[in-house]
């Protein structure tokens, strides 16, 4: 994987970029002025970050794996220690699929009914490969999302969710909170 240089990153015009950041030169970044990236972040090949008016906020120690996308007009925020597995799609905008309106970005907005809403991904959240997160969703701290899940409703802290639509299937251990303390002390 080839990484963008510090100079290349500066030239792209991000709102903020922290230290120890690895951005793939094969990923696509749109509206960089609305993207804020913390420290110790890695974004892999073929990811798409397309920030709308609400912007995209990425915390510290975050990984976004290959072929993932963060797209939409609303804010998308990824808190510290969150992990987005490969082929995850996070949307802060979504077309109306009912047939009552037309769809796609080439149609004037008076003929569509696109819904926009913020997406908040909490600390220590891991989203499994192939999952989809829709607008107006909060995934609270410590949640684990199983692969190929559809997240259309909020997820409560330290739950394990899976399915389409996703349902809480189990509790997640909280040991990682103690490990975080030890890690940050070093």
| pLDDT tens, residue by residue, 1-18 | 899 999 999 999 999 999
- Residue 1's pLDDT is 80
> Strand, coil or helix: what is 144?
strand
In-domain check, residue 44: yes
Q: What are phi and psi of 56, to 5 degrees?
A: -125, 130
Going by pLDDT thresholds of 50, 70 and 90, the confidence category of residue 186 is confident
- Domain of 177? 6-185
- Report the CATH number that the domain containing residue 86 is assigned in CATH: 2.160.10.10
In-domain check, residue 108: yes
In-domain check, residue 10: yes
CA atoms within 13 A on the CB side of 58: 30
Q: What are phi and psi of 6, to 5 degrees?
A: -60, -40
Number of separate domains in the chain = 1
34-57 pLDDT, tens per residue?
999 999 999 999 999 999 999 999
In-domain check, residue 60: yes
33 DSSP 8-state letter: G
Q: Average pLDDT for residues 120-141, to the nearest whole number?
A: 98
In-domain check, residue 1: no
In-domain check, residue 151: yes
Q: How many CB atoms lie within 10 A of CB 175?
A: 8
Enter the pTM of the model. Answer: 0.97
- Residue 7 class from Cβ within 10 Å (0-12 exposed, 13-18 middle, 19+ buried)? exposed
């Amino acid at each position: 994987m080839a990484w963008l240089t510090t100079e290349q990153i500066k030239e792209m015009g991000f709102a903020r970029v922290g230290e120890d950041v690895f951005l793939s030169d094969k990923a696509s970044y749109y509206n960089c002025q609305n993207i804020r990236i913390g420290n110790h972040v890695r974004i892999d090949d073929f990811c798409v970050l397309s920030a709308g008016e609400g912007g995209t906020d990425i915390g510290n120690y975050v990984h976004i794996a290959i072929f993932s996308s963060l797209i939409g007009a609303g804010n998308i925020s990824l808190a510290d220690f969150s992990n987005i597995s490969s082929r995850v799609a996070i949307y802060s905008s979504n077309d109306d699929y009912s047939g009552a309106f037309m769809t796609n970005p080439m149609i004037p907005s008076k003929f569509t009914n696109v819904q926009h809403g913020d997406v908040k991904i909490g600390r220590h959240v891991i989203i499994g490969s192939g999952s989809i997160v829709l607008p107006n969703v909060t995934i609270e701290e410590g949640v684990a999302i199983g692969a190929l899940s559809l997240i259309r409703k909020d997820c409560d802290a330290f739950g394990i969710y899976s399915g389409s639509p996703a349902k809480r299937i189990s509790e997640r251990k909280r040991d990682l909170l103690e490990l975080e303390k030890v890690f940050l002390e070093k």
